[in-house]
Homo-oligomer: A and B are copies of this chain.
């Protein structure tokens, strides 16, 4: 294993947990990405389509909040989706600072085509764990994630 026991019991436990979280995420993410690439999309592009498809049109800023990324980043991802003709920018009349992103017909059609396939793929990957284990893992991850969000 990576972390040699050198920092005391509590710290070793925390470091070990963090290493395993990072590795599990990296491995799962890589497998998921293989599937996404087969649709000729990048991971962040896919996530944006997913948000728009499931929740409807929203502003750049809202997309940033959902995906936990910076504004500069989202500008580029939306640019690239727009080049592909999958989304379009709608300039709002009410508040002219905001821009709403919506799926084009092509984008909506793609969304509908690929998401059930993708869900099947995720299910298959997760089946490394039993349903009970998945539920327990989800519970702990949620506690960790939400607990951290409030941290300084």
Chain A: residues with CB nearer than 8 A to chain B? Answer: 2-4, 7, 10-11, 13-18, 20-32, 51, 54-55, 66, 68, 115-116, 119-120, 122-123, 125-129, 131, 133-138, 140-145, 147-149, 151
| Top 7 A-B residue pairs of the complex, sorted by shortest distance between their CB atoms | A128-B147, A14-B126, A24-B145, A25-B25, A20-B141, A7-B119, A14-B123
CB of A152 to closest CB in B, whole Å: 9
A18 and B31: CB pair below 8 A?
no
Copy number of this protein in the oligomer?
2
In the assembled complex, which residues on chain B have CB atoms less than 8 Å from the CB atom of A30? Answer: 68
Q: How far is the CB of A3 from chain B (nearest CB, A)?
A: 7
- Cβ A28 vs Cβ B18 within 8 A: yes
Our pick among B14, B26, B127, B128 for the contact of A122 (Cβ within 8 Å) is B14
- Further pairs besides A13-B131, A22-B25, A24-B145: 6, Cβ < 8 Å: A18-B122, A18-B125, A27-B149, A125-B151, A128-B143, A129-B144
